[in-house]
Structure 1
Amino acid sequence: MDLDRINIMKAITRRMEYTGERQRVLAENIANADTPNYKPKDLKKASFSDLVKGPNPRAAIATTQPGHIGRSSASAGNGSWKVERAKGEFEVAPNGNAVNLEQQTMMLAENQGEHNLMTNLYRKQVGLLRKALGPRQQ
């Protein structure tokens, strides 16, 4: 059974990919806390409702001949998230570095909570599917 065909499972998976990528960006900010003129970055917020809706089938590229290249299902969730400058910089060090370790730590904790929530939702959805399928027959 392909769980990616279930919209809620696809949305949860994409959200987990988002939190993983955000973890990488926030860790990069902390690693560059002493780098001169470094500005912290963050990912653009992803809307969970957009993840649930998925791609618009009417917006897909039409393939009218066998040689045409259509839109693949892999391109819908390629995990490419937009990295942008972090908002709410509180202070800038004399060397031009704008990383606030307390703020970055709070953002990491928030991101971890979001990832844990998605992991629990995924686990519950799999449990519901198992219950719906009934006991295994041997």
Structure 2
Amino acid sequence: MIPGILAAMDLNRINIMKAIARRMEYTGERQRVLAENIANADTPNYKPKDLQKATFTDLVKGPSQRVTIAATQPGHISRTSAGSSNGSWKVERAKGDFEVAPNGNAVNLEQQTMMLAENQGEHNLMTNLYRKQVGLLRKALGPRQQ
């Protein structure tokens, strides 16, 4: 057996591994969007955003086109300069009933915190699933030779 064969494998050729990696990218991008909502909790007229739910097909196939956040006002920072993400997840206005503050802000900090905790749990689940899949591949390849 060739040493380090698992390290040389392209895990993105295995659909389940690709789906897990893409879901981890999704949870990372969702973390950024939710943190942006919390950071703008006092910004007048700010409406919270969330990512569009990704289907399994989206996770396996990847993005068909790049999507960016639209700048609806001239003073908005463009998506390309605001973050380092690949921009492959569609950001949309969060759905639900929001209590709007007198300044027009609709960010509910308790709800955003709950969404962050849910997102972190999902990311931890994907990390553990990825680790288990790599363990199964190592087991299938047999004992490691140094």
Q: TM-score range by the shorter chain?
A: 0.7 to 0.9
The residue number in structure 2 matching 1:67 is none
Alignment pair present for 1:101 and 2:109? yes
The residue number in structure 2 matching 1:130 is 138
- What's the secondary structure of 1:26's corresponding residue? helix
Q: Gaps spanning 5+ residues in structure 2: where?
A: 1-8, 65-85
- Aligned-partner Cα distance in 1 for 2:93–2:46: 11
The runs of 4+ residues in structure 1 deviating greater than 3 Å are 52-56
The residue number in structure 2 matching 1:8 is 16
1:89 aligned to which of 67, 74, 97 = 97
- What's the secondary structure of 1:36's corresponding residue? coil
Does the Cα contact within 8 Å between 1:38 and 1:99 map onto a contact in 2?
Answer: yes
- Aligned-partner Cα distance in 2 for 1:12–1:54: 12
Residues 73-112 of structure 1 deviation map (CA, whole Å, 9 limit, x = unaligned): xxxxx65100000001320000000000011001001100
Letter in 2 for 1:119: T
The residue number in structure 1 matching 2:88 is 80
- Aligned-partner Cα distance in 1 for 2:99–2:62: 39
- Aligned-partner Cα distance in 2 for 1:108–1:32: 15
- Aligned-partner Cα distance in 1 for 2:62–2:31: 23
The residue number in structure 2 matching 1:69 is none
TM-score, normalisation: structure 2: 0.75
> How many pairs align?
117
1:27 aligned to which of 31, 35, 39 = 35
Does the Cα contact within 8 Å between 1:36 and 1:97 map onto a contact in 2?
Answer: yes
Percent identity over paired residues: 94
TM-score, normalisation: structure 1: 0.79
Greater mean alpha carbon deviation, residues 27-36 or residues 46-55: 46-55
Does the Cα contact within 8 Å between 1:17 and 1:79 map onto a contact in 2?
Answer: no
Q: CA-atom RMSD, angstroms? A: 1.8
The residue number in structure 1 matching 2:127 is 119
